[in-house]
Amino acid sequence: MPIMPWSDLLSVGVASIDQQHRILVGILNQLGDSLEAGIDAWDESVALTRLVDYTESHFAFEEELMRRAGYPGLDAHEQEHRLLFQQVAELMARSSSGEKVGTQALLVFLRDWLTSHIMGTDRALGLSLNRMGMH
Ligand SMILES: [Fe+2]
């Protein structure tokens, strides 16, 4: 069972955003599966870096889309993205300083954050873009 099964409830109605969310969820699930199957520390850190990097480039994509569309909710949305990165950096720093936070806990945190961000903040963005004719 994937850690975050894809569901149409996660669709925000804009194809480019939905496609990237699917990829992001896919990377998260892949890392979850690898942890379950047993993965060495090096592969784990490579996979984690891939997840964090993709998240970062996806956020940049959404922010550029909002900027180009003149979306009024840009600042608040961007703020949520920044806050997520601060929280992820904190969790990663704690785990590298020897505190056992663990990649599994980070995945659960990301899954919960993504679910509520996608279904709330990104959904509102999608509706607004739909009204501007973007699908
Ligand atoms: Fe977002």
Q: Which fold has domain 11-131?
A: Four Helix Bundle (Hemerythrin (Met), subunit A) (1.20.120)
d(CA 11, CA 110): 17
Around Cβ 105, how many Cβ atoms within 10 Å?
13
Distance 39 CA to ligand 1 centre (A): 30
Average pLDDT, the chain: 94
Mean pLDDT across 82-103: 85
Distance 92 CA to ligand 1 centre (A): 21
Query: Quick one: pLDDT band at residue 94, thresholds 50, 70, 90?
Result: confident
pLDDT at 98 over 80: no
d(CA 17, CA 121): 13
pLDDT digits (tens, 9 = 90+) for 23-80: 999 999 999 999 999 989 899 989 999 999 999 999 999 999 999 999 999 999 999 9
d(CA 52, CA 55): 5
Q: Is the pTM of this model over 0.85?
A: yes
Distance 118 CA to ligand 1 centre (A): 7
